[in-house]
């Protein structure tokens, strides 16, 4: 019973993370298309905000792995978050 409750919590967290990630990707692609057509300068802010949403969705998606203490997947999540941060923000 306890394992089933944990599974439901993980599924809720996964749905939230996936929803944020999909919304952010749609914003990025829409911004890129609009930037090619109109060259509006404020679209840079939209892309930066979308990058924050993508990183936030990756962090939220990593919560179940931290709760399960799965070291290999946690390291992969951290590596992927760092790579995405470098891509979006040229750190």
Domain that holds residue 23: 2-89
Mean per-residue pLDDT of the chain: 85
Query: What pLDDT band is residue 1 in, cutting at 50, 70 and 90?
Result: low
**Confidence at residue 44, expressed as pLDDT on a 0 to 100 scale:** 83
Rg from Cα positions in the chain: 16
Question: And the tokens for 77?
Answer: 């999540």
Looking at the structure of the chain, the number of domains it has is: 1
Question: And the tokens for 56?
Answer: 């936030």
Stated pTM of the model: 0.77
Number of CB atoms found within 10 A of residue 20's CB: 20
């Amino acid at each position: 019973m306890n394992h089933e409750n944990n599974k439901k919590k993980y599924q809720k967290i996964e749905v939230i993370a996936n929803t944020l990630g999909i919304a952010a990707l749609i914003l990025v692609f829409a911004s890129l298309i609009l930037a090619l057509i109109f060259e509006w300068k404020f679209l840079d802010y939209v892309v930066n905000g979308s990058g924050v949403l993508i990183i936030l969705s990756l962090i939220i998606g990593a919560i179940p792995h931290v709760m399960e203490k799965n070291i290999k997947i946690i390291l992969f999540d951290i590596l992927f978050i760092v790579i995405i941060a470098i891509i979006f923000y040229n750190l």
